[in-house]
Amino acid sequence: MTIAASGENNSLLVRVLAPVGRVFLGFLATVGRLSIFTAHSLRHCATPPFYYRLVARQMVDIGYYSLPVVGLTAIFTGMVLALQSYSGFSRFSAEGAVATVVVLSMTRELGPVLAGLMVAGRIGASMAAEIGTMKVTEQIDALTTLSTNPFKYLVAPRLVAGLAMMPILVLVADIIGVFGGFLIGVNKLGFNPANYLTNTFEFLEVKDVVSGLVKAACFGFVISLMGCYHGYHSRGGAQGVGTATINAVVSALILILVFNYIITELFFSR
Amino acid sequence: MNESVPKIRLRGVRKAFGHKQVLDGVDLDVNVGESVVVIGGSGTGKSVMLKCILGIMRPDAGSIEIDGIETVGLPSAERDQLMRKFGMLFQGSALFDSLPVWENVAFGLIQARGMERDKAKGIALEKLAAVGLGPEVGNLFPAELSGGMQKRVALARAIATEPEIIFFDEPTTGLDPIMGDVINDLVVKCVRELGATTLSITHDLASARKIAHRIAMLHDGRIIWSGSVSEIDRTDNPYVDQFIHGRAEGPIRMQVSR
């Protein structure tokens, strides 16, 4: 073994390990930046001045204008759930459980997750694109020169609106989803309407709905946070805004699935 | 306010991006009521200097005093207060495209001063008239305006709160020479009426001669020359001479190739 050979080994090792280290450090830097951004945003959510008009506008954007897309998602999901569980459960003569399966699946999982995914695509993308464009055209700097804190004016209203509106959206989605299941159950699968409704509510617990709403609030916050964070840190021109939009949507989708697991674990594992 | 305290005082301001030292110890005084224009080639750090003073960027070292008060590292609430003294005209106008023109102009009045919207709208329309735009423009959106009109709206927005200090970032860039001169006249007129202290950056010498009391040249991250408008043609500083005559040959080397 010569020194030269061990030197070569070292350089090979360095060549392999250096990118790993770089990626890891980059990841830590991002986590740090995001944590500071979040702390900053929360502080500005809690301290005056508050821009009620902007909060209201964001609430309309997130809540009202997302209703069609979330409603459609929910009704078809409820319908398909009823069909699938009926055809599956009939194999062991458990058709009676269809109503319970539909309502539990909707309130616990599919309502919040699917609504979250839909809203992430709609709202996360639009926030990132809007704030990103404001960033690259110096509109955010202009806010500062007009004695208006961009965190208070742009970020805080979006976070508050996301946090407040998602649970309402999900509650609506739950109801529409259950209604979709009811439609299929009664009209196609031949359930008695009264029996179907009784079965729906018989095994439903408050915890099922509440866990879904807690998820919704968390997802709403995450969607707004990702939209604002990536928009705020976009650089360059149109391409930078495009990248920011992609990152906002993708990171929101992944975080929704991660937090979905964590919150489920907190509520239902024992 | 004591006359001997400069309105804006920069000492040894340094700012680097990675390995590139953009500002390398900038010293600059702007006195009360004075109009200073900083000239310099593209990429010499003129915009970075303005952003450091505004607190949008934080300098790596040095001191920036406004009215004798140190502003580097000011907490954000106090920074918001301090910004009330400032107005700024951005190079790309930076109008809020989600708001109609009058709300853009009235933004500082409504958001920062808490003025009622009706009253603020009246003032906004006055300011628009001052830059030669009729009240019908007030209800348009910025995207519906030409570049020259956007610049005028941006000027109206910068002066709407009657700030003590106004920054102009390349006020004439991207405009035809005639519209450029219209903007210069408006800048001079508005500044005179407000009695504001102004700091402008530009590489348009016609503009600089028109709006400046004093011209300073930024090169390699430092102020290398400073003097009155009449002195700029008589200086023997080779850098200034090359710049004002627009020659490719001289002590300033543009980075054309790597």
> What band does A50 get if pLDDT is binned at 50, 70 and 90?
confident
pLDDT at residue A175, as a whole number = 95
Across the interface, whether the CB atoms of A141 and B90 are under 8 A apart is answered: yes
- What does A78-93 look like in DSSP terms, one character per residue? HHHHHHHHHHHHGGGT
Looking at the complex, does the CB of residue A100 fall below 8 Å from at least one CB of chain B? no
Q: Could you read off the pLDDT of A36-45 as tens digits, one per residue?
A: 999 999 998 8
Partners of residue A133 in chain B, C-beta under 8 Å: 97
pLDDT at B257 over 80: no
Domain ranges of chain A: 51-268
Instruction: Give the pLDDT mean for B90-119.
Output: 88
pLDDT at A7 over 80: no
Nearest-by-Cβ selection for B94 from A130, A137, A148: A137
* Class for the domain spanning B8-245: alpha beta
Tell me the count of A-B CB pairs closer than 8 A.
57
pLDDT at residue B131, as a whole number = 84
Across the interface, whether the CB atoms of A145 and B80 are under 8 A apart is answered: no
**What Rg, from alpha-carbon coordinates, does chain B have?**
18
Residues A44 and A148: their CA atoms lie apart, in Å, by: 12
Nearest by Cα to B199 from B41, B73, B37: B37
Q: Could you read off the pLDDT of A79-126 as tens digits, one per residue?
A: 999 999 999 988 888 888 899 999 999 999 999 999 999 999 999 999
Q: Is A12 exposed, middle or buried (0-12, 13-18, 19+ CB in 10 A)?
A: exposed
Looking at the complex, does the CB of residue B112 fall below 8 Å from at least one CB of chain A? yes
Across the interface, whether the CB atoms of B97 and A153 are under 8 A apart is answered: no
pLDDT at residue B25, as a whole number = 87
Q: Sort strands B197-202 and B165-169 into parallel, antiparallel or unpaired.
A: parallel
pLDDT at residue B170, as a whole number = 87
Looking at the complex, does the CB of residue B88 fall below 8 Å from at least one CB of chain A? yes
CB B148 within 8 A of CB B182: yes
Across the interface, whether the CB atoms of A145 and B84 are under 8 A apart is answered: no
Looking at the complex, does the CB of residue A89 fall below 8 Å from at least one CB of chain B? no
Nearest by Cα to A59 from A148, A129, A163, A150: A163
Residues B195 and B163: their CA atoms lie apart, in Å, by: 9
Across the interface, whether the CB atoms of A148 and B112 are under 8 A apart is answered: yes
Partners of residue A137 in chain B, C-beta under 8 Å: 92, 94
Across the interface, whether the CB atoms of B107 and A148 are under 8 A apart is answered: yes
pLDDT at A138 over 60: yes
Instruction: Give the pLDDT mean for B13-42.
Output: 87
Across the interface, whether the CB atoms of A146 and B91 are under 8 A apart is answered: no
Across the interface, whether the CB atoms of B111 and A153 are under 8 A apart is answered: yes
Global pTM value: 0.86
Looking at the complex, does the CB of residue A147 fall below 8 Å from at least one CB of chain B? yes
Looking at the complex, does the CB of residue B168 fall below 8 Å from at least one CB of chain A? no
Closest residue in chain B to residue A133, using alpha carbons only: B97
pLDDT at B255 over 70: no
Nearest-by-Cβ selection for A147 from B84, B92, B167: B84
Nearest-by-Cβ selection for B108 from A51, A137, A146: A146
Looking at the complex, does the CB of residue A205 fall below 8 Å from at least one CB of chain B? no
Looking at the complex, does the CB of residue B44 fall below 8 Å from at least one CB of chain A? no
Q: Which residue blocks in chain A are alpha helix, DSSP H? A: 3-46, 52-59, 67-89, 98-105, 111-119, 125-136, 139-145, 150, 156-187, 193-202, 206-232, 238-268
Looking at the complex, does the CB of residue A139 fall below 8 Å from at least one CB of chain B? yes
pLDDT at residue B236, as a whole number = 81
Partners of residue B83 in chain A, C-beta under 8 Å: 144-147
Domain ranges of chain B: 8-245
Across the interface, whether the CB atoms of A138 and B92 are under 8 A apart is answered: yes
Above pLDDT 70, what percent of chain A? 96
Partners of residue A148 in chain B, C-beta under 8 Å: 80, 107-108, 111-112
pLDDT at residue B258, as a whole number = 43
Residues B197 and B219: their CA atoms lie apart, in Å, by: 23
Summary mean pLDDT of chain A: 91
Across the interface, whether the CB atoms of A139 and B83 are under 8 A apart is answered: no
Across the interface, whether the CB atoms of A147 and B81 are under 8 A apart is answered: yes
Across the interface, whether the CB atoms of A138 and B90 are under 8 A apart is answered: yes
Distance from CA of B54 to the nearest CA of A (A): 7
pLDDT at residue A1, as a whole number = 43
Across the interface, whether the CB atoms of B112 and A145 are under 8 A apart is answered: no
Residue among A146, A152, A235, A241 with most chain B CBs within 10 A, to mutate: A146
Specify which of A159-168, B109-118, B245-254 reaches the highest per-range mean pLDDT: A159-168
Partners of residue B143 in chain A, C-beta under 8 Å: none
> What band does B3 get if pLDDT is binned at 50, 70 and 90?
low
